[in-house]
């Protein structure tokens, strides 16, 4: 027995996945299921391994999850920019249920497909760039940066030390709020160039390996005719906000962050 | 694993995404953001998607920490957090 894992929904004229489509989440060869003007890119996965409980368990197993997430992404990406990505972990009992889904929500799928047509998603993340900020400050004013400026502290070294500590803490607070305000500006500027934009929660340091706080984890849906302008804007913003912010660009992605559909009937 | 994680781009010169030493891990983090929390949410009959995003995000911290240790990175940046973080897992 198998279940049907859903990867993506595409217009029917997209055709089957290309022959070099790599293996799916269970190592299976992805295929398509059609209904009307739509088709679903699916894979057959063994049912004891892919029922709800097994999936919840595997979600916590990095040995399984990382390759599975990469496989899901590869299959979605192989649809070459014309499909709606489906969230990882959507499983149907069989192909007939998938056909019924396509039929029941055909209009909503077509509307969503039109929204992302000829568009890709780009990610822009902004971190506070503490090291470069401190370096720039030290170059500008070596005495202040090392705390050797200010009034002589011969008489009361303890008080002077505490004052310096407080000044440093206040400066860190100001740096962070300045960086956060700049991150807002970056997001607004890029939003103006994108068809749609959204934000993911900032990624935690233990996930990124970057200790500096992340102040923006934005996603932008950009029409292909505006890609070059978007790239120029990112470069310009990077210069404009250095050395306070460090901007990182990722993409192009399938439009994962821009495919909300009102088809979650029965879902929580 | 050297399979391309990038979406097929357009033929004309577009945007050069940033790459870096941490590409592999960064890509995983960004993938998890999108593949687990993004995408069309559809009521599946077996699994209602892996829908509880908050739950997912919490377990991702442990996941990514363990993937990072699997990758056996040369002790670069923060090594201190994961242990503290684990204490907060449900």
Strand partners, B47: A91
C-alpha span between A262 and A151 (Å, rounded) = 65
C-alpha span between A129 and A212 (Å, rounded) = 7
Name which residue leads in pLDDT, A267 or A199: A199
Q: What's the mean pLDDT in A110-119?
A: 92
Confidence band for A78, pLDDT divided at 50, 70 and 90: confident
Between the alpha carbon of residue B68 and those of residues A206, A211, A245, B56, B62, the distances in Å are: 9, 15, 25, 18, 10
Query: What's residue A126's pLDDT?
Result: 97
Query: What's residue A15's pLDDT?
Result: 67
Q: Look at residue B37 and give its three-state secondary structure.
A: helix
Secondary structure element (H or E) that encloses residue B30, with its range: helix B23-31
Q: For chain A, give the percent of residues with pLDDT over 90.
A: 60
| pLDDT 10s digits, B2-58 | 344 556 555 444 566 665 434 455 578 888 888 887 777 777 777 666 656 565 666
Q: Which of A62-66, A69-73, A124-128, A211-215 has the lowest mean pLDDT?
A: A62-66
Q: Is B18 on the interface with A (CB under 8 A)?
A: yes
Q: Look at residue A167 and give its three-state secondary structure.
A: helix
Distance of CA A78 to the CA centre of its chain: 19
User: No. of H helices and E strands in chain B?
Assistant: 4, 0
How large is the C-alpha radius of gyration of chain A? Answer: 25
Structure ipTM: 0.79
- Return mean pLDDT, chain A: 87
Which residues on chain A are in Cβ contact (under 8 Å) with B7? Answer: 77, 81, 120-121, 251-254
In angstroms, the separation between the Cα of residue B33 and the nearest Cα of chain A is 7
Q: Is A66 on the interface with B (CB under 8 A)?
A: yes
Q: Which of residues 48-77 of B touch A (CB under 8 A)?
A: 48-52, 56-57, 59-68, 70, 73, 76-77
Q: How many residues does chain A have?
A: 268
Query: What's residue B50's pLDDT?
Result: 64
Query: What's residue A56's pLDDT?
Result: 81
C-alpha span between A26 and A72 (Å, rounded) = 10
| pLDDT 10s digits, A7-37 | 999 999 876 666 667 789 999 999 999 999 9
Name which residue leads in pLDDT, A138 or A266: A138
Interface touch A70/B3, C-beta < 8 Å:
yes
Q: Which of A56-70, A143-157, A202-216 has the lowest mean pLDDT?
A: A143-157
Strand A119-128 with A91-92, pairing: unpaired
Q: Which residue of A has its CA nearest to B78?
A: A209
| pLDDT 10s digits, B60-85 | 666 766 666 655 544 444 443 333 33
Lookup: tokens for B16: 């050069």
Backbone phi, then psi, for B44, in 5-degree steps? -80, 160
Residue B42 burial (CB count, 10 A): 26
| pLDDT 10s digits, A135-154 | 888 888 766 555 555 555 56
Which residues on chain B are in Cβ contact (under 8 Å) with A264? Answer: 41-43
C-alpha span between B58 and B55 (Å, rounded) = 5
Q: Is A250 on the interface with B (CB under 8 A)?
A: yes
In angstroms, the separation between the Cα of residue B4 and the nearest Cα of chain A is 8
Interface touch A252/B28, C-beta < 8 Å:
no
Between the alpha carbon of residue A145 and those of residues A134, A135, A141, A171, the distances in Å are: 8, 9, 6, 11
Query: What's residue A235's pLDDT?
Result: 96
């Amino acid at each position: 027995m198998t279940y049907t894992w859903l990867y993506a929904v595409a217009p029917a004229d997209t055709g089957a996945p290309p022959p070099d489509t790599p293996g799916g989440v269970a190592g299976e060869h992805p295929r398509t299921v059609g209904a009307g003007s739509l088709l679903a890119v699916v894979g057959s996965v063994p049912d004891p391994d892919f029922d709800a409980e097994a999936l919840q368990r595997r979600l916590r197993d990095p040995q399984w999850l990382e390759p599975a997430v990469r496989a899901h992404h590869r299959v979605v990406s192989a649809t070459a920019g014309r499909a709606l990505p489906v969230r990882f972990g959507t499983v149907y009992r069989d192909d007939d249920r998938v056909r019924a889904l396509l039929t029941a929500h055909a209009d909503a799928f077509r509307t969503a497909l039109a929204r992302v047509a000829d568009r890709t998603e780009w990610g822009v993340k902004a971190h506070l760039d503490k090291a470069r900020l401190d370096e720039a400050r030290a170059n500008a004013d070596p005495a202040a940066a090392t705390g050797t400026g200010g009034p002589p502290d011969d008489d009361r070294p303890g008080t002077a030390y505490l004052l310096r500590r407080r000044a440093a803490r206040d400066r860190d607070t100001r740096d962070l709020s300045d960086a956060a305000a700049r991150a807002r500006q970056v997001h607004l500027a890029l939003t103006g160039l994108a068809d749609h934009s959204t934000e993911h929660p900032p990624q935690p340091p233990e996930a990124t390996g970057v200790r500096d706080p992340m102040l923006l984890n934005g996603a932008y849906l950009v029409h292909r005719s505006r890609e070059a302008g978007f790239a120029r804007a990112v470069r310009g913003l990077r210069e404009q906000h250095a050395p306070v912010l460090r901007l990182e660009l990722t993409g192009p992605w399938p439009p994962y962050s821009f495919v909300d559909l009102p088809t979650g009937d029965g879902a929580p | 694993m050297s399979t391309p994680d990038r979406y097929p781009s357009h033929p004309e010169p577009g945007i050069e995404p940033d790459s870096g030493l941490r590409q592999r891990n960064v890509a995983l983090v960004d993938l998890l953001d999108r593949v687990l929390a993004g995408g069309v949410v559809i009521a599946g009959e077996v699994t209602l998607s892996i829908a509880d995003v908050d739950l997912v995000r919490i377990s991702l911290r442990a996941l990514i920490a363990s993937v990072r240790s699997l990758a056996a990175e040369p002790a670069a940046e923060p090594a201190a957090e994961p242990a503290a973080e684990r204490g907060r897992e449900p």
